Amino acid sequence: MRRERFKLLLKENLLTLLTITGVIGGIALGIGLREIPAEGGKWTPREVAYINFVGDIFLRMLKALILPLIITSLISAVGCLDLSLSGKIGGRAVLYYITTTIMAVILGIILVVTIQPGKGAEATSTEVTGETRNVTTTDTLLDLVRNMFPPNLVQACLQQFQTVLVPPKHNPHEQDLNLWSVSGKYTDGMNIIGLVVAAIVFGIALSSLKEEVQVVLKFFQQLSHTVMKVTGWVIWLSPLGVLFLITAKLLEMDDLGVVFGKLGLYFAVTAGGILFHGFVILPSILFILTRKNPARFIANMGQAIATAFGTSSSSATLPVTMQCLEEKNHIDPRVSRFVLPIGATINMDGTALYEAVAAIFIAQLRGLPLSFGDIVAISITATAASIGAAGIPQAGLVTLVMVLDTVGLPAEDVSLIIAVDWLLDRFRTVVNVLGDSFGAAIVAHYSQKELAAIPPREEAQKVPRNSMGNSAETVLFEERL
Ligand code: 7O9
């Protein structure tokens, strides 16, 4: 039995070690291989695509898990809690999300205002590819709310709603967007906010019908369990996946030295702020509130951190995050499966910090003086943008445009910082994932008593670690019915 446990431990940590080796190997290989094309030549896009192939397959598998994972997790977790408890857990999670996001924004603002990376830098813009969209902040926020209520759930898996502005016929060059007419269209991309809301409502309905719908609840719990099983398999690809993703990305980039030379200080301030928030402030909050060892907690999330860095997508990382949180940090699945999908959708501390810093950096670069009111406005929009990002079609740039708009900076100025965005995105994603994980741990800690009070139907406590390597807690979750 002991040997078995030891083997299991080695097996789990071996994978994390391999994945971290994959990250480091990817960086080394990427930097090394850049030199290969002769005389300042570049790798062709085709060659880069070939190198990216394995990484792409890994990413596709992770993405395939997102939809089944969020639907089954939310329905089964909310379904097995009574309404008042899920309200409490949800409320605690949202309180944590808002507090930490605001803290991240404040940290970013303090750094960028004191260090002033935009003062000395020169304003050279890179060409932005892709159309710039005419949007107003109000329309974007209204779309977010509209997308919470999808008229067709099947369509919501594929498309989301977007308001489009059409210039008046008699004056196609009208500058004032208020005079444009408003229509709407569906654009490609999963309507994640709509699906999350629908799954929660469905879960609440199951929980209020109780005994009547035991079979349906059991069905979703077992489906959720099955999806996690597949996740466990996909995770074995992560060392190779992240290696190829990172190598390919590094080969694709233009001259790294030039880029960091110009934007070096901005990059350092943003990355420093993001990492300080994720690796100092949030762990301190975890320690103060739960007395858990934050270093251990972070080490247990290693797999998720490496995947976040490799994929730069916290939604693609979600299956891995859930696995690490439940299997290694032993967070109650009823909490993690409930709050993680919500966190992945609305809680993005790294993104919020980044947007605030970026907007103020651009203002400094343009020599635009900012009043205290401007800074407050930037903080509020950056927080709102990070909450709404997942609900906005082609988010990324659009949300930053919203923040720039609050202080009257033009959308084109996004191009000033685009050169280092691919790398900052990876740091943001890591901290977004960590933020969700700390949140789940804190919420689970405060909900411990209430969760324990839900009487297990069978003698589930006696169920040991099963053959699939799932913790007793996971089994307990299955048996709670
Ligand atoms: C970063 F919960 C899920 F899994 F269902 C879920 C699915 C999709 C959650 C979120 C999304 C989603 O579409 N998110 C999204 C996030 C969409 C657009 C932009 C962003 C912001 O992404 C971060 C950033 O750029 O700062 C970062 N790359 O955490 O993934």
433 Cα nearest atom in ligand 1: 29
Tokens 């699939």 sit on residue: 468
Domain covering 10-477: architecture: Orthogonal Bundle (1.10)
Asked if the model's pLDDT at residue 200 lies above 80, the reply is yes
Mutate to test the pocket of ligand 1, among 157, 188, 315, 336 (most ligand atoms within 8 A of CB): 315
Lowest mean pLDDT among 141-155, 333-347, 392-406: 392-406
Q: What is the pLDDT of residue 39?
A: 63
Nearest to 347 by CA among 104, 69, 142: 104
**Mean pLDDT for the stretch of residues 364-380:** 93
Question: Which amino acids bring their CB within 6 angstroms of ligand 1?
Answer: 66, 70, 192, 312-315, 318, 341, 344-345, 348, 351, 389-390, 395-396, 425, 428-429, 432
* Consecutive H or E run containing 462: none
For the stretch 150-185, pLDDT in tens is: 999 999 999 999 988 888 888 888 878 788 888 889
At residue 157, φ and ψ (nearest 5 deg) are -75, -15
In 3-state terms, what secondary structure has residue 335?
helix
Q: What is the DSSP secondary structure assignment for residue 180, as one 8-state letter?
A: S
* Consecutive H or E run containing 458: none
Asked if the model's pLDDT at residue 480 lies above 70, the reply is no
Mutate to test the pocket of ligand 1, among 73, 314, 403 (most ligand atoms within 8 A of CB): 314
**Mean pLDDT for the stretch of residues 98-115:** 97
**Mean pLDDT for the stretch of residues 271-275:** 98
Q: How far is the CA of 389 from the centre of ligand 1 (A)?
A: 7
Q: How far is the CA of 303 from the centre of ligand 1 (A)?
A: 18
Q: What is the pLDDT of residue 40?
A: 63
More confident site: 374 or 127? 374
Task: Decide if 69 contacts 196 (C-beta within 8 A).
Answer: no
Q: What is the pLDDT of residue 476?
A: 47
Q: Could you count the other beta carbons within 10 Å of the beta carbon of residue 170? A: 6
Return all residues near 380 (Cβ < 8 A) that are at least 6 apart.
Answer: none
Task: Decide if 146 contacts 288 (C-beta within 8 A).
Answer: no
> pTM for the complete prediction?
0.90
More confident site: 126 or 438? 438
For the stretch 303-315, pLDDT in tens is: 999 999 999 999 9
- DSSP letters, 237-264, are GHHHHHHHHHHHHHHHSS-HHHHHHHHH
